[in-house]
Structure formats: C-alpha cells, structure tokens
Chains A and B, each alone.
Chain A
Amino acid sequence: MSTLSPDNRTGVSRRKFVMTATLGTAAAVLGLPTAAIAKKTKIVYWSPLDPKGNNARSKGEAAMIQIFRKQHPDIEVEVQPVPWQVMGQQVIQAVLAGTGPDVAQLSTTNLPDQVGAGTAAPLNDFFAKGWSQAQKDDFILPWDNTVYDGQKMAAYWNSLLNNEFWYLKDTVNGEPPTNWNDLPAFLKPAADKYGVPGFLTGLSQQGNAIEFTDWLIPALWACGADYVQPSGAVGFANANGAKPFEWLLEMIHKYKMTPDSIISLTRDNVLDAIKGRKTISTILTSNIVSPARASLGNALGLAKQPGPNGPCSAFASGKFLMMTKSCKEREAAGLFIEALVSQEAQIANAKIAKEIPARKSVVKDPWFSTPEAADLKFALDYMSASPHVFKYPKRTDYLQTRIALAAQKMMTGHPVRQALQDVADEWETARKA
C-alpha cells in the first residue's frame, strides 16, 4: 500500500516492502534452474606471471589460459601471481597448511623438493591418460625427468635454455669466440671504450643463486667435472671442477673484465645491466631474451656459452606444472595441465611470449622459420646440437646457494679447492640429514 509521506513523496509501507522482498527472493530461488545456481568448478593456479601484467610473458600465459577457458567453460580458473623466487617455499607452506593452490607453475629446480616435502600429487590418473609413448616422447625434455618412483609428478610447461651467451653486437668486432680463454681479448676493446665490464654474472645467493649455477653447471660438464654424480655426491670437488671458478677469478683479477661487485649481483641485476648497456656480455636464460630484445633490439647477440675447449653443452630445463596435494578438483586440474601443454597453447605462448615450447611437434610450425622466431630457433638448434640430459637432485637449492657462497669466499682469497671441498662436505651432511 502506497503512503504519502509528510513531504508529499510517494513511499512504500514497511509491510509491503517486507512482503515484496520475501516473495521476490522466493521466486528467484525457486524459479531459477538448479544448474544456474550450482557452484561452478573452480581451480586456483599459482603462477609467477601476473595475467594482468603488461608484458609479453604474462600475455602469453593469459592466452594459454584463455584456450583452456574456451575448451572448458564449466571450469573457472583463478590465477594468483606469486614471485618466482619464493614460489617453491610458498607452495610448500600453503599446501601443508591446507590452503595451497590446485596447480602451481614452478622452476625446474623445485620439483625434487616438492616431491620430497610431499606437496606434489601424482598426475598418473588425471593427466596424459592413454597417451602413447610417441606422445610422451614429444616433450623436448625427457618425460622421466618429472617421474619419481614411477609416478608422473609434473608436466613441463615450457623448455628453457639456461646458458646463452648474450653480448652487445654493436660494441664488439665479429662473432664471440667459443673458447673462454679467447674471451678477454674479444671483450677488452669494447669494455675499455665504453668503460663498462666486459663480462658480468651474479654470485648472490638470492633467487637460490641460479644466475651463477645456470652457466656453472654446463661449464663443469665441459671441464670433465660434474654437478652431482649418480651416487648423489658432488662431482666438482676436484681439479676439473675448480677450472670454471679459476676462469672466473682470472676474468676478475687478471683480465679485469669482471668487477668485484658481482659478489652481490642477482639475476635481475645482471639482466638490468645488459638491458641498460652496463656490460658487454653475460650468460642468461632463453626465457628472458624477449624483454632484453625489446630494450636492445638488434644490438643483442646470442651465442653458445664459451667453454675451455669449445662451446659448452646446452643446459636445457623447463618450468613445470604441478598438481598439489591440497588440490580439491583433481579432474579439473588434470584437464587444465593438459590444456596448457597442448600444441595450441604452446604455439600461442611461443608466438606471444617467445618461450621455447615444451613439445617437439610445436616446433614444426612454419612460424619457427620466420625472423620473429630467430631467438627461439637459435636456442632450439643449440639444444638439439649438444644436449645434456640432466635431472636435478633433491635439496638443489641448498647446493646452489652453497656453491655461490664458495665462489664469494674465493673472491676474498679463499683457496678454490678448499672452498669446493667445504661445499662437498656440507652437501654430504645435508643430504644425509
């Protein structure tokens, strides 16, 4: 019943309002089909990339997720960005607290520890069911790299080349040498002319020291040493293992091509330095070529990592997708992982983000023969010309940070062999703890 309020405005009586609201709510609840009000299946995905980020890598992953959304409109995906440096720890903490994501994208070094900590859920029943061996062999990185005790614990989201030699083409004469002993002579004129270091790397323990170990591990292989032997013991506490460290010390102290300040530099610092033309060369990973290319254009040159007797082997790894133990929607999570590693999603990411795909069949796409894909082609050729199959051990983050610390000690005068033996001893204690 309408009433007239003292200021002559038409009002609604309280009784009428309550009745209308009650009837309206009842009609809405009863009248709508059950499916429309049923909860949509939802998965939470932790990614180091922010889907709203205005950069190629974020856009690439957003396109991959969009492909899944089109295929499965009944499944909602919530992407939660987490910085890559802390992703491993965050996943462990959250999963053990029961609040972890359904799926997470992690760096290749993290998988052994996720398996060890019991935070990864086997994918066998939810991913690649009924796949043939040929389909499994379609991955650039070995299928078994993510298999533990016969269980498939993760699927590669992309492939990575960890050891590309980056240099400023417009500052040097000719192609870089493949032997690292020739590198100082190659870099010196440019370093002197521009007053910047000839070669930069980072020995900081931040980011689990990957900036250093990404190129150190293939250098160890090239010197006849090893990172970790099949027995689990380190393989670099010997004369051959000392060679890459001695080379770096010569670059610092003898040739003055590398400054002392590398002791505190991180991968991001090194990337910023080459983007800002504050160094002539460095060694970085393939997945960050595109932001550097955006800054440097054609001035950025890529080459194989110089070694003691010619180029080092390609050190390939990859980011992977892992279903967590706290995953509540395992079927949906399996579908999500399959969609992201599908040819369609992989080619989309390669084109947008310039990421090396996880699948070999994707590389056959004509796009990879275009100039736009030249950087990826270089990495793929390097990887196929000199591959070195490698599976990280458990507690590799610990080992990497100890190696970086050993290198820091060497810079302050600690004997190389002694520093490496200290790491070997610490590693033995740690892995048996």
Chain B
Amino acid sequence: MNGKRRAKPEMPAAERDLPRILWEAAQPYLLLVPAMAFVLAITVYPIIQLFYIAFHSTNYFQIGAFNGLANFAPLFSASGAKSFLASAIFVISSDVLTISIALFLALILEAPLRGRGILRTLIMVPWLVSLVVTALLWQALLDPNFGPIAHFAKSMFGWTVAPLGDETTAMAAMVMANVWRSYPFALVLILAALQSIPSELYEAARLDGASRWAELRYVALPMAGRTIAVVLILLTFEYFTLVTLPFVMTGGGPNEATYVLSLRIWREAFTNYHFGYSAATGVVVFLLNLALSAFYIRRFVLQDAPRVSR
C-alpha cells in the first residue's frame, strides 16, 4: 500500500497551491461579509420590503394580496398633486436659499476678518439646535396670539398677522425655518472647499487682471463646484425626507399647502394606518431621489471632473 502511495505521481506545484490561492483570493470578500450582511439587513432589505408592501393590499399591519398599482392611486388625486407641488416648492426653495446663503457667508468668512473665529462659531449655532426645537421656535415666533412678529405688526401697523394660517406664507415660513437650521452644514463644507483652493490660482488670475467677480466666477466656483454638488445632493435627500419640521410646525396645513410627501408617508402610515399608500409614496420618493442624484452627478460632478482635475 505504501508502495502504491509512493508510486502516485506528484501534484504540480500550481495545483498543490490551489487551496491556498483560493483562500487568499477569498479572504478580502470573507472579511467583507459581516459589513455586507449589516448593510443588506439595514438598507437593502427595507427597500425590498418597501417595494413589496407598495404593491400589496394592507389592513393595518397585515400584508394581503398583490394589488398592482392600487396603492399609488391616491398620489394621483388632487391631494397627491398638492403633496408633489409642496415637496417641489419646499425642496427647491430650500436648496437654492441654503446654498446661496452658505456660499455668500463662506466667501465672507474666508476673508481675513477680525473676530472671524467668533463669527464662525456664532454662524454655526442653528446647526446645534434640534429639528423639534427649531420647529417649535419658529412656531412660537409666528404665533398669531403671542408671537413677537404678530405683536410687532399689531402694535406698529395695526395689522393682524398669522403667517402659518395662510397657504403661501406657511410654506415660506417653513422654508425659512429649514434654511435657518441647515445652512451651517452647507457653509462648513463650502468653506472647507474654498479654503483648499491654492492661493496661486487667485494670484495668477489677479496677474491676468481678473476682477473679484471674475475670481469668483472662474476660480472659486469651479474649484468648489464638486463640493457644492455633493452638498446639494445631501441637502436634497434630507429635505425630501424631512418629517419633523412640517409635522411640528404646520401639520401639513393650511389646506395641505405644506403637506409634503415625507409627511404624507408618515401620516398615511401612523395616522391613517394605510401602510400600502405609505409604502407607495415611499417608493415614489425613493425613485425621485435616485433620479435627482443621478442627474446631479451627471450634470455637476462627472461633467466638471476633467476641468477641476486640470
């Protein structure tokens, strides 16, 4: 027997090393398994479940039979259209105002001002305030009975002011509160991007006779463009999914003027107990966010990439 074993031809070196090679090749993937399982469990699985519920009938928390697109029908009612409009106004206005204010302040704070450190700290304060507190703070400011704004308007001009009681001003107030709370986040990132621009570029522009405006237009903005695009993507996601602010500040009113899609998702699920409708709205918001981020990345990040890297 031993003789037979000895007679067996020796395996080639490559074949002998195969298990080791396979093991080494698999090692990085095996190390990733826990993290991947975690991501699958907390991100991918809920998304799959969201799509599943969106296409099934529900009775409270029981998921019933497949019902096609029936859960999407309420989104195409007059109330659904109002939610789309409210979300579009809220997200676009907040995005534009937040980025504009943050960019403006970043340019100021980048300048060598006296007391710049204190100014930077003060400007960051709204970011430290929680969303619930922000909503309550603005609600109190705009209260028609006790708010300082209403009091000032009444005592100075005899006007009765109730901003949260009017469709247009309620949305404007909600956007203002949102911008107030979130501009510091954009400011920090844009300021960091501006500070990382090499000073040689400005010097070269000045030697070419560039004005301050030209420096901003042709040096600062292109160089900070990618960061601004990333900030825009992050803010858009956040604004689209924001529930606390409209829930606490306006409750979606008046007359559904501030009934944004995110609040609709929450209310359909936890006030109306229509989980199917809620999931269907969630799917639409998810797809909208996906489409918007794809657009932003194509339009601002990929297109600007060669120019920036030069």
* Residues of chain A at the chain B interface (Cβ within 8 Å): 88-89, 92-93, 96, 113, 116-118, 203-206, 208, 259-266, 269, 272-273, 276, 278, 395, 397-398, 401, 405, 408-409, 411-412, 430, 433
> Contact: A266 with B251, CB < 8 Å?
yes
B 253-274 binary contact with A (CB < 8 Å = 1; else 0): 1111000000000010011111
Q: Note all chain A residues with C-beta closer than 8 A to B162.
A: 259-261, 264
Known: A118-B61, A405-B255, A408-B254. A269 touches B143 (CB 8 A): yes
Distance between Cα atoms of A135 and B276 in the complex (Å):
43
Is B144's CB within 8 Å of the partner chain A? yes
Q: Which of A204, A259, A397, A412 contacts B272 (CB 8 A)?
A: A397
User: A94 → chain B, closest Cβ, in Å?
Assistant: 12
22 contacts between A and B (CB under 8 A): A88-B270, A92-B270, A93-B270, A113-B60, A113-B273, A118-B60, A204-B251, A205-B251, A205-B253, A259-B162, A262-B165, A263-B255, A264-B165, A264-B251, A265-B165, A272-B146, A397-B271, A398-B274, A405-B253, A408-B253, A408-B255, A430-B272
A12 to B171 alpha-carbon distance, docked (Å): 71
Q: Which of B139-190 contact A (CB under 8 A)?
A: 143-146, 160, 162, 164-165, 167, 170
Chain B residues near A409 (CB, 8 Å)? 255
The distance from the CB of B196 to the nearest CB of chain A, in whole angstroms, is 44
Does B254 contact A278, Cβ atoms closer than 8 Å?
no
Using known A-B contacts A260-B165, A264-B164, A266-B251, determine if residue A89 contacts B271 with beta carbons closer than 8 Å: yes
- Once the chains are docked, how many angstroms separate the CA of A314 from the CA of B60? 32
Q: Is the CB of A433 within 8 A of B61?
A: no
State the Cβ distance, B122 to closest chain A Cβ, in Å: 31
B57 on the A face (CB < 8 A): yes
B80 within 8 A of A: no
Which chain A residues border B57 with CB–CB below 8 Å? 433
How far, in angstroms, from A116 to B272 measured CA to CA in the complex? 12
B252 interface contact, C-beta 8 A: yes
B residues less than 8 Å from A263 (CB atoms): 165, 253-255
On chain B, the residues within 8 Å of A259 by CB distance are 144, 160, 162
B271 and A276 within 8 A (CB): no
Q: Assuming the A-B contacts A118-B61, A272-B145, A433-B57, are A398 and B272 also in contact, with contact meaning beta carbons closer than 8 angstroms in the complex? A: yes
Asked whether any CB of chain A lies closer than 8 Å to the CB of B250, the reply is yes
Interface of A is mostly: helix
Given A203-B254, A264-B250, 5 further pairs, Cβ under 8 A: A92-B61, A203-B253, A264-B253, A398-B271, A411-B255
* A299–B129 CA distance with the chains assembled, in angstroms: 39
Complex CA gap A262/B254 in Å reads 10
Q: In the assembled complex, how far is the CB of residue B135 from the closest CB belonging to chain A, in whole angstroms?
A: 11
- Contact among A93, A96, A204, A395 with B253 in the assembled complex (CB-CB below 8 Å): A204
The smallest beta-carbon distance between B25 and chain A, in angstroms, is 40
A116→B273 contact, CB < 8 A: yes
By a CB distance below 8 angstroms, the chain B residues around A395 are 272-273
Q: Ordered nearest first, which 4 A-B pairs have the shortest CB separation?
A: A261-B162, A206-B251, A89-B270, A261-B165
- C-beta contact mask, B225-264 vs A, less than 8 Å → 1, else 0? 0000000000000000000000100111111100000000
Q: A89-B270, A264-B250, A408-B255 are in contact. Are A276 and B61 (CB under 8 A)?
A: no
Q: Assuming A89-B270, A89-B271, is B146 touching A276 (CB within 8 A)?
A: yes
CA distance in complex: A412, B254 (Å): 10
Contacts of A206 in B (CB 8 A): 247, 251
Is B255 in contact with A412, judged by CB distance below 8 angstroms? yes
Kindly state the separation between the CA atoms of A401 and B264 in the bound complex, as whole angstroms: 13
Say how far A245's CB is from chain B's closest CB, in angstroms. 15
CA distance A264 to B277 in the complex (A): 26
Q: How far is the CA of A92 from the CA of B60 in the complex (A)?
A: 10
Q: Which of A117, A205, A269 has the most CB of B within 10 A?
A: A205
In Å, the complex CA distance between A262 and B60 comes to 32
Give, as a whole number of angstroms, the nearest-CB distance from A298 to chain B.
23
**A405-B61 in contact given A113-B273, A276-B145, A395-B273 (Cβ < 8 Å):** no
In chain A, what residue has the closest Cβ to B160? A259
Residues of B within 8 A of A89 (CB): 270-271
Complex-state Cα separation, A337 to B246, whole angstroms: 36
**A203 to B164 Cα, complex, angstroms:** 12
Q: Complex formed: what's the CA distance from A203 to B253 in Å?
A: 9
Give min CB distance, A116 to chain B, whole Å. Answer: 5
Contacts of B144 in A (CB 8 A): 259, 261, 265
Give bound CA distance, A433 to B145, whole Å: 41
Would you give the shortest CB distance from A212 to chain B, in whole angstroms?
Answer: 12
CB distance from A291 to the nearest CB of B (A): 16
Closest to B144 in A: A261
Instruction: Give, as a whole number of angstroms, the nearest-CB distance from B256 to chain A.
Output: 7
Residues of B within 8 A of A203 (CB): 253-254
**Most central of B62, B143, B165, B170 by chain A CB within 10 Å:** B165
